[in-house]
Structure 1
């Protein structure tokens, strides 16, 4: 269970899920830019967000003005997972239900907010969703796509949506692990992608259980007692192989343990769309409606000249240092689950004397605990979507100390750390919205919404009312299940 009071857990759950959305929306400012281009446009910041001043987001076809302060497909897919869990109500991520809800999102978007169908759909997820067997055997579909690409495609599309897997049944780490693996393998068969989702989810769950604040207390805790049980390692390794052809026909069609309650229930599209339009009319229109006459000639008009700040307001990501307790907690997650990379049979062929699996495990550790942010080369064009870059910068950022004496008040405390990290990681470019979404979810789980994320940022997020209602409803169910579990012990 957790050492935290229910009110604190609630704040951290909301921080985790809002942190995902805020990081996603903030990082859009430089998504797919090289570091050089991002710095030419924004210098060393700040970038305007919410109603805070800064360099306006560069406007182009990828980031139109109508998308300011709005999240993207990263958070869309996290919310699709949340809605799947809310439908089944049993705390289990059912792969077929989630798969069909992803297809619903591809076809209809999140209709409650009028989001475009399948906006930002990535290459790997798109190929898997179009596979002939996706709706009935998603794990097998994902494997066939990965296999056809040479078993060397490990993008970040699984980890970007995984925050909710760390919240669901956060007090039961075994359930968190299974849910994260089930959700990741729906579209990503590469063990590196699966492990990225798993270690992100597990770290979130340990933050929600009170970890990362007291080093001595954490060292005495057993986070997942099953890790010491005979056969458990093999059970998880076998799950990684599920849906592959490594053991012949017996693994072609994994058992998904479907129940009547897990059967996919499509949304009432017409009803939801009508309700959305009525609300929009009452509110006097949407944010997008303000820019219906916005023309190409207005893009980036009167943009201020970029000049570098002499002082960014705090000591910075590479100088603030690692927080002892948060860092040790993150390292414990890697230590507990790296065997899944080291011992898996789901891997491309190895060169003589060089096991791919060992290289993967070593790379994950080095990228999650780098010497500096620059070591990750976030803006390098040839690998911006690599899953270890995303989980690496997320682990690195989420384990930083708070600056004890920032030169600008807005960089103090948990909120200030969140602000400073978002600025610096976004200005590195690359797949910045995904990097910041995952990092934001970890920071939110560590510090909470109130006190952990600048209030001006989350209160000015597009679709705030719907997002708040959705997250509150989900949080209420999770905490009710948590309290019921505590009463039964």
Structure 2
């Protein structure tokens, strides 16, 4: 039997770590300009760098949205990705249980992640919050998500599903049909719009194909059968029917879809908040000087941005730039194969509003929009800092696809931008300085880059090792990787 991946287990472990850390690092770095226009970002940070991890740069601008204690810490994007990881670890069978995840999200909404001391529901977006406020959320999340989407005119396609999807592409990465099912389930518990679901799906599938060795040789990739079920028309109908779950398109049958029966393996059990908070307090008290957050607690707002250095543009950044390096041919082909394989989901779905203009088919417009965002001519075409559509799902997955398909700069002018590490650094810096929903955009892009290049040689060491909660993250990721690779080895025998 042919191997399920061309990568060694050591390479797979490194890419699993890279994917999850890539999400967390991108999320934390991008917070510096979240919800800013590009003009504001450049005024505050010039052309960078922004201080991050163990590396110097312009300090993060403090305002009502971000503070010095937030430096090097991830946001709700990574929080929610970690909830998916914990849910998958609990069930342990490779399948995401939507009810279990919904319960974890509701718990996080009220208690944060107590083992890390994070604030309840920090940074929560409107759509996810509105869905979680529904009484039926923990029993029928698909319907709760549809009701919010339907009440908003069926035109909301936010990025709250794609931002947390990294871990979905790692779980059972060798079985694309399982990845697809998990991605759709993880998205649909809070997002009913097919564009949001599709964004999470194609990000997850691309990650899984990267872990199977894709993206290195276009000729070899073109001969591979990534998901054998795609040749079966019945499978396409199955996925289209999955999009209908929770909607009113088929009456009671779709409004109240069946979920897996509760078992000891998938039944949600609340965390012991008091014990976890006590353990965290003892850990922080043991740290020299206290925790990072404790050091800056109760600061006077008048001290925000005090003694901030003057912004001076770097005469030379050190690499060509995201548009100038061009596309890596093999990566571009792999990314296009993913979009092509699953484009039918937005073209043929009946989960859609009425036509927006006379004679215009909404689904065709969605398909064109998806391709335009994933394969733009340049980064400005994505208008990341456009305030009207900052959180658009296709904008987020689009910049992630655009970033991960870039070539490594063949002739950088400084060592910081050499190789995969330099590409990661340059892309995250440039996307952050574009403003908009920068933390989410960088989280999605960082996870794809981590899946492509891994952790050890794929991102700046001073960045990921300087993260808050780095020890906890390493332990959590390694436990997840141990389980995934054990399942992979069993399947590969």
User: What does residue 285 of structure 2 align with?
Assistant: 281
Q: Within 5 A, what are the aligned runs for 1:172-211? A: 172-211=175-214
Is the contact made by 1:200 and 1:442 (CA closer than 8 Å) also made in structure 2? yes
Aligned-pair CA distance for 1:259: 3.9
Q: Distance in 2 between matches of 1:481 and 1:228?
A: 26
Among 397, 402, 405, the alignment partner of 2:403 is 397
Among 14, 20, 24, the alignment partner of 2:23 is 20
Q: Distance in 1 between matches of 2:441 and 2:406?
A: 16
User: What does residue 477 of structure 1 align with?
Assistant: 483
Q: Within 5 A, what are the aligned runs for 1:9-408? A: 9-260=12-263, 261-284=265-288, 285-292=290-297, 294-350=299-355, 351-408=357-414
Structure 1: gaps (5+ residues): none
The alignment partner of 1:59 has SS state of coil
Q: Distance in 1 between matches of 2:238 and 2:301?
A: 56
Structure 2: gaps (5+ residues): none
Q: Distance in 1 between matches of 2:388 and 2:8?
A: 45
Aligned-pair CA distance for 1:308: 1.9
Partner deviation per Cα, 1:314-342 (whole Å, 9 max, x = no partner): 00000000001111100000000010000
Q: Distance in 1 between matches of 2:219 and 2:68?
A: 48
Q: Distance in 2 between matches of 1:244 and 1:464?
A: 41
The alignment partner of 1:262 has SS state of coil
User: After TM superposition, what 4+ stretches of structure 1 lie above 6 angstroms from structure 2?
Assistant: none
Q: Distance in 1 between matches of 2:247 and 2:287?
A: 50
Q: Distance in 2 between matches of 1:352 and 1:306?
A: 50
User: What does residue 434 of structure 1 align with?
Assistant: 440
The alignment partner of 2:233 has SS state of coil
Is the contact made by 1:368 and 1:396 (CA closer than 8 Å) also made in structure 2? yes
Q: Distance in 2 between matches of 1:296 and 1:259?
A: 49
For structure 1, which segment, 349-358 or 391-400, has the greater mean C-alpha deviation from structure 2 after superposition? 349-358
Q: Distance in 2 between matches of 1:282 and 1:33?
A: 37
Aligned-pair CA distance for 1:293: 5.9
Partner deviation per Cα, 1:263-307 (whole Å, 9 max, x = no partner): 112112122122212222222321112223632222112212212
TM-score, normalization by structure 2: 0.98
Q: Distance in 2 between matches of 1:121 and 1:292?
A: 22
Among 451, 456, 461, the alignment partner of 1:445 is 451
Aligned-pair CA distance for 1:161: 0.4
Q: Distance in 2 between matches of 1:251 and 1:93?
A: 20
TM-score, normalization by structure 1: 0.98
The alignment partner of 2:95 has SS state of coil
Aligned-pair CA distance for 1:151: 0.1
Among 2, 5, 9, the alignment partner of 1:6 is 9
Q: Distance in 2 between matches of 1:293 and 1:228?
A: 60
Q: Distance in 1 between matches of 2:59 and 2:343?
A: 41
Is the contact made by 1:128 and 1:187 (CA closer than 8 Å) also made in structure 2? yes
Is the contact made by 1:94 and 1:258 (CA closer than 8 Å) also made in structure 2? no
Distance 1:235 1:53, change over 3 A: same
Q: Distance in 2 between matches of 1:255 and 1:3?
A: 37
Give the root-mean-square deviation of aligned CA atoms. 0.9
The alignment partner of 1:112 has SS state of coil
Partner deviation per Cα, 1:22-76 (whole Å, 9 max, x = no partner): 0000000000001111111111111111121211111112111000000000000
